[in-house]
Amino acid sequence: MNVATLFQGVALISWLAVVGVLVFTIFQASRNNPVRGGRTLILVVVAVAIVFSTVSAGLVFVSPEERGVVVSAFSPRGYREQPLEPGLKWVLPFAETVITYPISRQTYTMSIAPEEGQTRGDDSIEARTSDGQKVLIDASVIYQIDAAEVVTVHINWQDRYSTDLIRALSRGVIRDAVSQFQIEEVYSKKRLELSSMVREELTNKLNENGLILVDFVLRNISFSDEYAASVEQKQIAEQQAQQAFFVVESKKQEAEQARQVAEGRADAAVIEAEGRAKARIIEAEAEAEALLLIADAIAGNKDLLTYQYINQITPNIEVMLLPNDSPFLFPLPEIGPLPSTTVTPVPAE
């Protein structure tokens, strides 16, 4: 409770006391029992009530989140040009009155939901796009009164600034902005641009009327049922096309993968064939070099070939027929002893 409110309470009690004393005095006088000094008492109580009433009428307490507009009977314009700052202030009792306005942030919401906005029921903003489509927009305007322009707001709008200024101005600006975009731009790629355009225009318009735009919130954009159905069908078609595209890309990737596998196998076969060819070449070169060495050895010792030939003959061979002019020597089979023959002597005659 501030001091101004306290004095107002005391003044009210004082006037109640005046009424009480006056009634009591009249009642006692009607019973032929007048109150001694009753007239004086009444005058004292009335004087006290007047004093407190006068003081309470002159004291005004302005809260930190408010500014006061002084309406004065002694001012040529009927008001003080400067607003009252926060604190306990003094004005001319009964000649000046103070009307306070909040300078804290306020929000005005226009929504399709019945209980969300300041106006009950559907308060969304119906607008038309450049291609003639109808959209319903939910929006919130966050604003505050410029502390230095409180007197201007009072003169122009009084306490009607929220409905007659904020509501009407924002709805008109939003409709004008929406009319510059096509329906697909409103709900997709240019939604932020739409919001920025409305914010900039509202800022200028509110500044001209002594208000400050803190923020503009584009809450929701709704469409007609017919257009919403067409958008849904279009999205389904786009999803199907995108899915088909993914299938084609997947097949392409599988084909590419198969091609790369085939190329890998072909490269591996080539590398393997090249390896075998190189190995064969190396083997042939080794054999040729070996034959050269053998030829050199035979040329130096002709019996060496005979010796090697004999060593290669299977050891189980016992009889072999060769031409009589064969230069090779072979062991003949062992001939066992001949069977014994008994010679019977013939007697001489």
Question: Is the domain of 113 the same as that of 188?
Answer: yes
Give pLDDT, residue 301: 72
Give pLDDT, residue 273: 82
Question: Is the domain of 95 the same as that of 113?
Answer: no
Residue 337, in any domain of the structure: no
Give pLDDT, residue 228: 67
Question: Is the domain of 95 the same as that of 120?
Answer: no
Question: Is the domain of 66 the same as that of 23?
Answer: yes
Spatial CB neighbours of 251, under 8 Å, sequence gap ≥ 6: none
Query: Do residues 86 and 62 make contact, with C-beta atoms less than 8 angstroms apart?
Result: yes
Query: Do residues 67 and 85 make contact, with C-beta atoms less than 8 angstroms apart?
Result: yes
Spatial CB neighbours of 189, under 8 Å, sequence gap ≥ 6: none
Question: Is the domain of 29 the same as that of 88?
Answer: yes
Question: Is the domain of 268 the same as that of 206?
Answer: no
Kind and range of the H or E element at 323? none
Q: Look up tokens 């308060």; give the residue.
A: 123
Give pLDDT, residue 198: 94
Largest distance between two CA atoms of the chain:
231
Residue 345, in any domain of the structure: no
Helix 3-30 / helix 38-58 crossing angle, nearest 10 deg: 160
Residue 321, in any domain of the structure: no
pLDDT-flagged residues of the chain (< 50): 332, 335, 338, 340-343, 346, 348-349
Residue 86, in any domain of the structure: yes
Buried b (16+ CB within 10 A) or exposed e, 108-132: bbbbbeeebbeeeeebbbebebeee
Distance CA 100, CA 66 (A): 6
Give pLDDT, residue 236: 67
Q: Which domain holds residue 262?
A: 242-306
CATH number, domain of 167, equals 3.30.479.30
Kind and range of the H or E element at 240? helix 225-300
Distance CA 214, CA 202 (A): 10
Distance CA 193, CA 246 (A): 32
Question: Is the domain of 197 the same as that of 299?
Answer: no
Instruction: Give φ, ψ of 83 to 5 degrees.
Output: -75, 160
Q: Copy the structure tokens of residue 322.
A: 């060769």
Question: Is the domain of 171 the same as that of 204?
Answer: yes
Question: Is the domain of 271 the same as that of 208?
Answer: no
Triad 333, 336, 338: Cα angle to 5°: 135
Looking at 102, 133, 148, the residue that finishes a domain is 102
Distance CA 96, CA 102 (A): 20
Give pLDDT, residue 27: 76
3-class DSSP state for residue 344? coil
Give pLDDT, residue 327: 55
Sign of the Cα torsion 304, 305, 307, 311 reads positive
Residue 28, in any domain of the structure: yes
Give pLDDT, residue 337: 54
Q: Copy the structure tokens of residue 29.
A: 């006088």
Query: Do residues 145 and 105 make contact, with C-beta atoms less than 8 angstroms apart?
Result: no
Query: Do residues 12 and 56 make contact, with C-beta atoms less than 8 angstroms apart?
Result: no
Kind and range of the H or E element at 301? none
Residue 92, in any domain of the structure: yes
Question: Is the domain of 155 the same as that of 253?
Answer: no
Q: Domains in the chain: how many in total?
A: 3
Looking at 270, 287, 306, the residue that finishes a domain is 306
Give pLDDT, residue 133: 86
Kind and range of the H or E element at 87? strand 87-90
Residue 152, in any domain of the structure: yes
Question: Is the domain of 113 the same as that of 86?
Answer: no
Our measurement of the distance from residue 228's CA atom to the centroid of its chain's CA atoms, rounded to an integer in Å, reads 24
Question: Is the domain of 133 the same as that of 173?
Answer: yes
Give pLDDT, residue 348: 45
Q: How far is CA 182 from CA 126, 129, 132, 134, 179, in A?
A: 15, 5, 8, 11, 8
pTM score:
0.59
> Looking at the chain, how many residues does it have?
349
Residue 139, in any domain of the structure: yes
3-class DSSP state for residue 88? strand
Looking at 71, 102, 133, the residue that finishes a domain is 102
